[in-house]
Amino acid sequence: MSCYHYLFAGLTAIALGNLAQLGFATPIVPSAPAELSATLTPSAFPFDPQNRTFVPERLRRNDNPFPYRAVVGKDDRVPMMSREFPWAAIGRVEGISADGEPYSCTGTLVAETIVLTNAHCVIHPESGKVSRRMSFKPNLIDGELQSPEDVADVQTYYAGTNFRDGNDASDWALLKLDKPLGKKYGYLGWKNLPYTQLTNRPRQVKLIGYSADFPKNPRSIPGIVLKAGPGMTAGVHRGCSILKKQVNLLLHDCDTTGGASGGPIISKFDNDYYIVAIHAGWRRVNGQVLNYAVEIARIEEWIQADSGE
């Protein structure tokens, strides 16, 4: 069974699945004035040539996304309540599908105007149709932004697959924004690491995603009441693991559900956080349900192919 069958037939809450089950309180209508257009070359995306993580001078660093207490019970996620780095660079991707349905995913700033997410957050895997409009809301917490004017519209995109080629391992996409939000919120570099190096770092990665089931509403935490409902605050699973590689996908045990598609799996290297994989969906392996992610290698293959390296 191909990836999109797992995304849509098996898990209706995944982005672009049964959108009525995503738990939206009100319709999401991004303000983009025109439909999305595709671009084909890496030169359209102004990356840092050294792929560095960038932290704005006035933005503090903080390893803790939730400076209160952990979620009690089997769910290991905590609410992302921090306005500091690296959490500030992660946000909610909101879109209107080709059929006019609202949906959401997760994305990460990887340059001043570039967000990394999943291809299936732009292109419907079953129909092949491209979303009408998309926007990005950085560091959304309880449905609120640091500044209302920081909503950015997506101008162009590149998707690693159109799904007609069955290339689920390239379920990644880059979105070009109409505002340089990375100047304010910072952005994350990525590291293309061999999967063996990732599997040798047990409980050393974190997944951040705007899952449609998290946090529960109402959800009371000492000193905090999150009122906006599920999907309006990101959940962070700290200390999860990349387990193994299977059919060019990375299997992991980080807690997440629909809406977290495109969420970054990050790890710390020399005091800076980097994206090491991109969460994409789930599949059943030997009777066990495991989440899977896309390798950073897929993005770098595209960049190198275009440069002739």
Contact 230, 215 (CB under 8 A): yes
109 or 305: which carries more pLDDT confidence? 109
Whole-model pTM: value is 0.84
Per-residue tokens: 147: 């500044």
Per-residue model confidence (pLDDT) at position 258:
87
- Residues 6+ positions from 228 with CB-CB distance below 8 Å: 25, 142, 143, 144, 217
Q: Are strands 189-190 and 272-285 parallel, antiparallel or unpaired?
A: parallel
Q: What is the mean pLDDT of residues 222-243?
A: 90
Annotate 191-259 with DSSP letters as a single string. ----HHHHHTSTT-EEEEE--TT-S-SSEEETTEEE-S-TTSS-EEEEEE-EEEEETTEEEE-----TT
Q: What is the mean pLDDT of residues 9-28?
A: 33
Check if the beta carbon of residue 266 is closer than 8 Å to that of residue 193.
no
Task: Return the pLDDT at 5.
Answer: 31
Instruction: Name which residue leads in pLDDT, 97 or 219.
Output: 97
The pLDDT of residue 302: 92
Backbone phi, psi, residue 266, to 5°: -120, 155
Q: What is the mean pLDDT of residues 303-308?
A: 74
Query: Is the per-residue pLDDT at 197 higher than 60?
Result: yes
Top-confidence residue, 47 or 210 = 210
Contact indicator for 278, 272 with CB cutoff of 8 Å: no
> What confidence category does residue 25 fall into, taking pLDDT thresholds of 50, 70 and 90?
very low
pLDDT at position 308: 57
Question: What domains, with CATH codes, occur in the chain?
Answer: 3-40+63-307 (2.40.10.10)
Return the ∠ at Cα 228 (arms to 224 and 232), rounded to 5°. 100
SS3 (DSSP) at 148: helix
Band of residue 17 on the pLDDT scale cut at 50, 70, 90: very low
Output the CA torsion sign for 36, 40, 41, 42.
Answer: positive
Mean residue pLDDT of the chain comes to 83
Condensed to tens digits (0 to 9), the pLDDT of residues 41-66 reads 888 887 777 778 898 988 888 887 75
Type and span of the H or E element at 301: helix 297-307
Above 50 in pLDDT, residue 1?
no
